[in-house]
């Protein structure tokens, strides 16, 4: 009998995962290595307000804790608990959504996107996604083996979608389009005329609009955010939202989807969504009881969060204005700025160098599917002003040292 150990045969991951990238967390792994070596990293990479000086509102915590004390600790109904769904419906109707055909609660917007795309897309279908893009959508499409077709966000037009380009990307296999409004990574809020033109494209080609409005309540200036579903009650729209951002509870993993549109047209699709909702049992049960508190309770905490974010946004835009080699469309919402850098190297090399030499962690634009030759970085402006200013000074110094 041979005593040699059998040769290791690797268990390979699916080839479908080859295109999956999540630069935001991938870079964090590098930063964690550095932190283990004793380096203090300034993290301007992850959009989690609770990591900074923002706290989950006590009335939401109390609503969730009370639900646990009240015994809501078993499985919930698959679409979600009734009082939470009714609170979402009342809020949506108040915002002007009509023809609501289904509301369902999920483990964050992330699970809602997974379920809604899986329920819609078949092997030959394709979906329009923005470039730059929050990478969740591409990751799910890769997992499903579905082709994505990127449409351009136009930096020269305040990062609004390039409508002609979007229309030109539609073919006979296109089933839907993704809209992130307010936008991650650009901080843009889309105008009524842009939204009307997008609705018209969807109407003409019978597309489902997936509108990710998770930053809806974090608009920093006076203009308002318009949910596209309110402009197109006849078009199939899935409006996505949740507690992660404006409600300052990302770790709770609570989100939801609202399907609106013509009842007869969307019925089979809604049935598909509910089939998948049942197959995964339910979302977090007791935490769903925080939804009525979030949508109907006091919102002073939100005004306070917006006030802080506005000051921090202004700090980043002022820095971008005065720093050679940087230009930035001022973000109007959320907590992201997406400045363009005038640098020789590619943006990923820049970001890794910045991390190693200045201990500042940002994410490169190409990590958001922003194609070359552009060189952008995404800056999360959640940190306190002193920390943010320190990080911005270091980025400026790094740029200066590399200037020709």
> Can you give the binding site for ligand PLP, defined by CB under 6 A?
47, 108-110, 134, 136, 180, 184, 212, 214, 242, 244, 250, 255
Among residues 183 and 323, whose Cβ is nearest to ligand PLP?
183
Q: How far is the CB of 149 from ligand PLP (least distance, A)?
A: 19
Q: How many other C-beta atoms lie within 10 A of the C-beta of residue 123?
A: 9
CB 118 within 8 A of CB 138: no
Residue of 181, 151, 150 lying closest to 165 (CA atoms): 151
Q: How far is the CB of 8 from ligand PLP (least distance, A)?
A: 36
Q: How far is the CB of 76 from ligand PLP (least distance, A)?
A: 17
CB 337 within 8 A of CB 328: yes
Among residues 184 and 370, whose Cβ is nearest to ligand PLP?
184
Q: How far is the CB of 380 from ligand PLP (least distance, A)?
A: 10
Residue of 380, 328, 379, 322 lying closest to 350 (CA atoms): 379
Residue of 134, 135, 123, 136 lying closest to 175 (CA atoms): 123
Among residues 187 and 339, whose Cβ is nearest to ligand PLP?
187
114 Cβ neighbours under 8 A, 6+ residues apart: 140
DSSP conformational letter for 184: T
Tell me the torsion sign for CA atoms 185, 191, 195, 197.
negative
3-state secondary structure 208-230: EEEEECCCCCCECCCCCCCCHHH
Among residues 240 and 396, whose Cβ is nearest to ligand PLP?
240
Q: How far is the CB of 293 from ligand PLP (least distance, A)?
A: 17
Number of H helices, E strands in the chain: 13, 15
Q: How far is the CB of 399 from ligand PLP (least distance, A)?
A: 26
Structure tokens, 218 = 């974090």
Residue appearing with tokens 């030759």: 373
Q: How far apart are CA 88 and CA 2, in angstroms?
A: 66
Q: How far is the CB of 234 from ligand PLP (least distance, A)?
A: 26
Q: How many Cα atoms within 13 Å fall on the side-chain side of residue 175?
A: 19
Among residues 113 and 343, whose Cβ is nearest to ligand PLP?
113
Structure tokens, 375 = 């060189």
Collapsing DSSP to helix, strand or coil, 397 comes out as: helix
Q: How far apart are CA 214 and CA 250, in angstroms?
A: 11
Q: How far apart are CA 370 and CA 366, in angstroms?
A: 5
Q: How far apart are CA 45 and CA 27, in angstroms?
A: 9
Q: Are strands 237-242 and 255-260 parallel, antiparallel or unpaired?
A: antiparallel
Q: How far apart are CA 197 and CA 131, in angstroms?
A: 18
Q: How far is the CB of 133 from ligand PLP (least distance, A)?
A: 9
Among residues 107 and 323, whose Cβ is nearest to ligand PLP?
107
Among residues 46 and 235, whose Cβ is nearest to ligand PLP?
46
Among residues 265 and 302, whose Cβ is nearest to ligand PLP?
302
Among residues 289 and 335, whose Cβ is nearest to ligand PLP?
335
DSSP β-bridge partners for residue 208? 176
Among residues 220 and 399, whose Cβ is nearest to ligand PLP?
220
Q: How far is the CB of 368 from ligand PLP (least distance, A)?
A: 10
Q: How far is the CB of 324 from ligand PLP (least distance, A)?
A: 30
């Amino acid at each position: 009998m041979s005593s040699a150990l059998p040769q290791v045969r690797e268990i390979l991951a699916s080839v479908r995962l080859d295109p999956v990238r999540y630069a935001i967390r991938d870079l964090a792994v590098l930063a964690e290595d550095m932190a283990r070596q004793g380096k203090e990293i300034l993290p301007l990479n992850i959009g989690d307000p609770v990591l900074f000086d923002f706290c989950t509102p006590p009335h939401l915590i109390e609503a969730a804790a009370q639900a646990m004390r009240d015994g809501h600790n078993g499985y919930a109904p698959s679409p979600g608990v009734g009082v939470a769904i009714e609170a979402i419906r009342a809020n949506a109707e108040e915002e002007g959504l009509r023809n609501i055909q289904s509301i369902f609660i999920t483990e964050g917007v992330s699970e809602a996107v997974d379920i809604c795309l899986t329920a819609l897309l078949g092997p030959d279908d394709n979906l329009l996604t923005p470039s730059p893009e929050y990478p969740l959508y591409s990751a799910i499409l890769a997992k499903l083996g579905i082709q994505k077709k990127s449409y351009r966000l136009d930096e020269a037009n305040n990062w609004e979608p390039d409508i002609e380009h979007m229309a030109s990307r539609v073919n006979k296999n296109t089933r839907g389009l993704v809209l992130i409004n307010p936008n991650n990574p650009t901080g843009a809020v889309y105008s009524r005329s842009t939204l009307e033109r997008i609705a018209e494209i969807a109407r003409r080609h019978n597309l489902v609009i997936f509108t990710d409005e998770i930053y809806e309540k974090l608009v920093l200036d006076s203009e308002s955010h318009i949910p596209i579903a309110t402009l197109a009650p006849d078009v199939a729209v899935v409006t996505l939202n949740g507690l992660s951002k404006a409600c300052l509870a990302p770790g709770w993993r609570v989100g939801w989807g609202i399907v609106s549109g013509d009842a007869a047209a969307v019925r089979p699709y809604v049935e598909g969504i509910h089939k998948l909702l049942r197959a995964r049992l339910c979302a977090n049960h007791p935490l769903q009881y925080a939804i009525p508190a979030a949508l109907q309770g006091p919102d002073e905490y939100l005004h306070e969060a917006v006030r802080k974010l506005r000051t921090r946004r202004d700090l980043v835009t002022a820095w971008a204005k005065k720093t050679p080699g940087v230009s930035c469309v001022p973000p109007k919402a959320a907590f992201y700025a997406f400045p363009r850098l005038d640098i020789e190297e590619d943006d990923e090399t820049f970001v890794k160098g910045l991390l190693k030499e200045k201990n500042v962690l940002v994410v490169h634009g190409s990590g958001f599917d922003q194609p070359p030759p552009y060189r952008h970085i995404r800056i999360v402006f959640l940190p306190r002003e002193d920390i943010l200013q320190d990080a911005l000074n270091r980025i400026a110094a790094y740029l200066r040292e590399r200037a020709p």
